[in-house]
Amino acid sequence: MINETLIPKIGVVTDIRKDTPDVKTFRVVGTDGKKLFQHMPGQCAMVSIPGVGECMFSITSSPTNEEYMEFSIKKCGCVTEVLHALEVGAQLTVRGPYGKNFPVEEDFKGKDLLFIAGGIGLAPLRSVINYVRHYRENYGKVVIVYGARSKDDLVDIDEIKNEWVNEPNTEVYLTIDRPQDGWDGHVGFVPAYVKELGLNPNMTAVLCGPPIMIKFTLAGLLELGFEKSRVYTTLELRMKCGVGKCGRCNVGDKFVCKDGPVFRMTELDELPDEY
């Protein structure tokens, strides 16, 4: 067989976790029971159900997990609808890894890190947060701010509550949009919460979430004195090939699939406003 990046590998779903009413996390291995391929935090993979379609998803699990990969997927379109109907044991196809990862071995090393996520935006951040936890001594203080519409929409809440909050030199702040029975935590939108927390602007920040959250949170961070060159985010555009050839995810002189999805805010400033 010719080695072709567009030809996928077969994956087996070994576990499905229902995180929220519309988000499920799929655990995937190869048909030999082993992890399909290595990746770095922030990289993505094309997951497909043949006959339905193929879509790009961020790899939610940390590269330090040697056994399997996980994808946290929100039900919102044709492919995700069918993915959500899958049962354990189902087979699908995976190809990757694609894209540029977070600079965890370069710019992030030795820095205090601030992670801000909204809703399903936690998916790409979970990979980098767990990578940082694994190599904890390489990084400074870690602050995580995570918000969702309601307490039921917080993705992967068990891992956050049972593991992340107990991590040394780590602060976790959760918030939901509106008051809700059984929630005694913070209520309010992420951008406002970030400003309220009066975070140290010397931290390196990573933002992931809906475009509107990113826009207002970034404005808030800049007000607090954060530098754009130390704020990162991820972009999401329609993709078909994943390797900068099909032309769909082109913005300016970049392809989100291969030059992204991770971008520094200063890089985004140079791109035309069309993403």
Residues 189-228: x where in contact with another protein by CB under 8 A, - otherwise, as a string: ----------------------------------------
Sheet holding 113-118, edge to edge: 186-187, 170-176, 142-148, 113-118, 204-208, 231-234, 262-264
220: its two tokens: 């808030």
Instruction: Tell me the window of 60-68, 136-144, 184-192, 233-241 that interacts with another protein (CB under 8 A).
Output: 233-241
Cβ-based nearer residue to another protein, 120 or 262 = 120
* Residue 123 near another protein by CB under 8 A: no
CA distances from 55 to 29, 64, 99, 116, 225 (A): 18, 24, 14, 25, 37
* Residue 85 near another protein by CB under 8 A: no
Cβ-based nearer residue to another protein, 91 or 202 = 91
Binding residues for another protein, how many (CB under 8 A)?
43
Query: Which parts of 236-255 interact with another protein (CB under 8 A)?
Result: 236-238, 240-241, 243-248, 250-253
Phi, psi at 226, each rounded to 5°: -65, 150
> In this structure, are residues 256 and 249 in contact, taking their beta carbons and an 8 Å threshold?
yes
* Residue 91 near another protein by CB under 8 A: yes
Number of Cα atoms under 13 Å in the Cβ half of residue 194 = 32
Rounded-to-5 percentages of helix, strand, coil across the chain: 25, 30, 45
List contacts with another protein (CB under 8 A): 1-10, 50-54, 76-78, 80, 89-93, 236-238, 240-241, 243-248, 250-253, 270, 272, 274-275
